[in-house]
Amino acid sequence: MSAEVRTQENRPAARTSLDAHADPAAAPPWWRGAVIYQIYPRSFADSDGDGVGDLPGILAHLDYVAGLGVDAIWIAPFFKSPMADFGYDITDYHAVDPLFGTLADFDRLLAAAHARGLRVIIDQVLSHTSVEHAWFRESRESRDNPRADWYVWADPKPDGTPPNNWLSIFGGPAWTWEPRRHQYYLHNFLDAQPDLNFHNPAVRAAALENVRFWLARGVDGVRLDAINFCFHDRLLRDNPPKPAHERTGRGFSPDNPYAYQYHWHNNTQPENLMFLEELRALLDRYPGSAALGEISSEDSLATMAEYTQPGRLHMGYSFELLTDDYSASHIRATVENLERVLGEGWPCWAISNHDVARVASRWGGAQAGAAQIAQMSALALSLRGSVCVYQGEELGLPEAEVPFEALRDPYGIAFWPNFKGRDGCRTPMPWNDSAQAGFTNGRPWLPIPAVHRRISVARQERDEISVLQRFRRFLTWRRGQPALRWGVVHMLATPEPLLGFTRCLGEEEILVLFNLGAAPGALPLPPGNWTPLPHAGLDAGSLQGREVRLPAYGALFARKVKNP
């Protein structure tokens, strides 16, 4: 049986409830409006007692994931790697790192997920490799070997300094000296992550082959890490300085010199669009597959719109909702700005991931309760687009305090104490309240805080008003609301801290109102005849005549009555 035939047989059958309100022949593709559960394999479940999560651990908990009501899982890198950046530095794109299991383990996981109606998306890290990758080991040996031009090499300035002023996201110059070539190599991330030269057609072909390998194996999609970093400016022009008042953004505080530049030349080059079209052509050979691009540029919303136009990526996400700002005005402006530029593109929202502080702490602070935390996820799940939910978000896990001596993240170690890195959102999943939280029988690779064990999966299963139970109920309810999954969005002018918008699909129009504040709120009902739409998982508002009353951290959904 050929790989391509096997791929089609391995695709999961569609859940009938997904398309209950639509003609199956005309139903949107599975990824539109999908809820994608992000699994960070190091921290999900450890099956062999070495303290690090693995693929068999994910397999053992697939029933839990499917029971949440999500549509797909996204698995962070599990490929062979020296783990300088915990899997985002790859030495073999076709091999599973022994830390996580075997290729046979992945095949079993893929089949089991499909049997449960779950699509499987895997990370693809295309812009760079590990310094230990065979390609780089060959490339660095000389200037005339077969892969001499596979990475970004540049001569020093006459005084021996790097060729330009480009900086690494992890701090310091983006160039490292290689004595064997008497040249510098480019690394937008760690010096252990050299950038590939995508101006070389052979590099692009090799990158596409790495993606094809997994599509042929049966995966349903790829999440493209740092996809706008594939190309660099051929002329190696200096990035211009950025004024102090503009040095903001996800993870790029004034403490990090990366914030001091406009990064116009080291990423997001126009040549990348051609490569995205080549990548899309490959994906189109595997019907039902989809690509989700991670985008971080000087104008991420504009880049996201450009990258998700027809013939390019299916979805894109940026970091506008991964900031500390949980105000209605920020969310409204973000959605309006995106909708204005997106055109036919499709967004994917995320309020948590493995790179930022957990949303319960970032938006809710130290005293966030179940109602507020459940509202955060429900808000993202009500916007137009697909949604990535990071493991533990459904539990309302707060950011973990990891002492310096236990840190593993090189980013946090470099910028301690002002920035503590990413370990606080990567601590192991608490399955129960035992000493190792049901995650491992050994010593976990990061400490598990006591506060996480107190809100473990097992404990929340027994509490009908827990964040977990609220999350499940809301997802179950959302599944039956096609306008929330596929409809257009129109933001309403509402006073802070109230956020309102409508979702429209065909003849159906749903009003969505959230109170992001700690005190009850009220506002006039928008024009039209509305009837409250019973929903689950959130504290519900009510209609009193032409006034909407919302409890603290509450919500109201209402359907417009066309012919009262």
Is 336 tagged catalytic?
no
State how far the alpha carbon of 325 is from the alpha carbons of 32, 128, 328, in Å.
26, 31, 9
Q: Angle 3-10/103-115 helices, nearest 10 degrees? A: 40
- 294 catalytic residue (yes or no): yes
DSSP-derived secondary structure for 185-197:
EE-SS-TTSPBB-
Q: How far apart are CA 482 and CA 505, in angstroms?
A: 7
Of 71, 89, 294, 409, catalytic: 294
Q: Using CA atoms, how far apart are residues 402 and 419, in angstroms rounded to an integer?
A: 12
Helix (H, G, I), strand (E, B) or coil at 177: strand
> 493 CB contacts (<8 Å, ≥6 apart)?
none
- CA atoms of 488 and 483, how far apart (whole Å): 8
Residues 432-443: b if buried by 16+ CB within 10 A, e if exposed? ebeebbbbbeee
Q: Specify whether the CB–CB gap between 176 and 193 falls below 8 A.
A: no
d(CA 80, CA 94): 8
Distance separating alpha carbons of residues 100 and 111, to the nearest angstrom: 17
Phi/psi at 467 (5° precision): -60, -40
Distance of CA 384 to the CA centre of its chain: 16
**Nearest of 91, 170, 167 to residue 131 by alpha carbon:** 91
Q: Which residue among 85, 225, 339, 409 is the active-site one?
A: 225
DSSP string, 214-227: HHHHT--EEEETTG
Strand 153-154 to strand 488-491: parallel, antiparallel, or no bridges (unpaired)? unpaired
Query: Which residue, 264, 251, 260, 265, is CA-closest to 319?
Result: 251
CA pair distance 119, 37, nearest whole angstrom: 10
Distance (Å, whole) CA 247 – CA 260: 6
**Strand order, beta sheet including 547-550:** 521-524, 547-550, 542-544
Separation between Cα atoms, residue 464 and residue 449, nearest integer Å: 24
Strands 542-544 vs 547-550: parallel, antiparallel or unpaired: antiparallel
Q: Can you say whether the dihedral through the CA atoms of 134, 139, 145, 149 is positive or negative?
A: positive
- Round the CA-based radius of gyration of the chain to a whole number and report it: 24
Collapse the DSSP code of 415 into the 3-class scheme (helix H, G, I; strand E, B; otherwise coil) and give the result: helix
Q: Which positions are annotated as active-site residues?
A: 225, 294
